[in-house]
């Protein structure tokens, strides 16, 4: 069995390193399901949480209900058998309605915490190139849906910027400053709708943010 949690933007999935007692999705999960604290979860999957979302990203977080489930469910991620869907609001307009980026990603050699797209064999980077594939489709206006099976760090943000649709407020990838009047805790506009997998595996529906509804 699994559980689907809704993570609002601005809330970390796990406690902040500098403040282990800070509010986070894990703390709220253990408060509502205290029985989880007594189970022997693998390190990094406390409470049964199977994956993370960026601080500014809202949406569905998949949670195992027993430690015995974690290995099999994580294998679905590793084998790229899960389809993940995101909504994003872009800082720029483009004439196309559908596009796809299949370029590998690696860490930026000069800027910590930033990824670069492999534009060619001599693209400066650090570490190994990691295969990544993201499909984009316009929902309306500057609201797009991104679909992917891989899950490389900052994959949607870097691929979207490469295709000319950086996320609104994502200054790290060319999306400019967060607009005035944005909800507290929101930096850039990205929402995880959920994921689907083989044999009916799927997260439950979660609320859409106002900007995507």
What pLDDT, on a 0 to 100 scale, did the predictor assign at position 18? Answer: 81
CA atoms within 13 A on the CB side of 86: 27
Taken in order 100, 131, 149, 24, the sign of the CA dihedral is negative
Residue numbers in the chain where pLDDT is lower than 50: none
CATH architecture of the domain with residue range 2-207: 2-Layer Sandwich (3.30)
For tokens 């489709």, the residue is: 137
What pLDDT, on a 0 to 100 scale, did the predictor assign at position 109? Answer: 94
Q: How far apart are the first and last CA of the chain?
A: 29
Estimate to the nearest angstrom the gap between the alpha carbon of 46 and the chain centroid: 18
Where b means 16+ CB within 10 Å and e means fewer, 75-90 reads ebbeeeebebbbbbbb
What pLDDT, on a 0 to 100 scale, did the predictor assign at position 51? Answer: 96
The residues, any chain, with a CB within 8 Å of residue 50's CB and separated by 6 or more, are 61, 62, 63, 64, 70, 73, 74, 77
The beta-strand segments (E) located in 29-173 are: 58-64, 83-89, 98-101, 105-107, 115-117, 126-130, 134-140, 143-148
What pLDDT, on a 0 to 100 scale, did the predictor assign at position 21? Answer: 84
Cα dihedral 91, 92, 96, 97 in deg (nearest 10): 20
For tokens 């690696």, the residue is: 106
What pLDDT, on a 0 to 100 scale, did the predictor assign at position 17? Answer: 81
**So where are the chain's domains?**
2-207
What pLDDT, on a 0 to 100 scale, did the predictor assign at position 41? Answer: 98
């Amino acid at each position: 069995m699994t559980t689907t949690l809704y993570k609002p933007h601005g809330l970390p999935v796990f406690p902040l390193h500098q403040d282990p007692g800070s509010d986070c999705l894990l703390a709220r999960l253990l408060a509502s399901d205290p029985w989880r604290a007594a189970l022997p979860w693998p390190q990094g999957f406390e409470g049964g949480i199977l994956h993370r979302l960026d601080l500014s990203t809202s949406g569905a977080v998949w949670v195992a209900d027993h430690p015995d489930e974690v290995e099999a469910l994580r294998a679905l991620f590793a084998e790229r058998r899960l389809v993940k869907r995101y909504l994003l609001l872009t800082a720029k307009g483009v004439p196309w309605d559908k596009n796809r980026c299949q370029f590998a990603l690696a860490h930026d050699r000069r800027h910590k915490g930033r990824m670069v797209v492999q534009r060619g064999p001599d693209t400066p980077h650090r570490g190994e190139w990691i295969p990544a594939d993201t499909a984009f489709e316009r929902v309306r206006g500057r609201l797009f849906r991104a679909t992917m099976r891989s899950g490389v760090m900052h994959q949607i943000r870097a691929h979207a910027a490469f295709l000319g649709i950086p996320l609104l407020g994502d200054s790290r990838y060319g999306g400019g400053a967060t607009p005035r009047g944005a909800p507290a805790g929101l930096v850039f506009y990205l929402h995880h709708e959920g994921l689907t997998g083989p044999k009916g595996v799927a997260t439950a529906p979660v609320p859409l943010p106002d900007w995507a509804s």
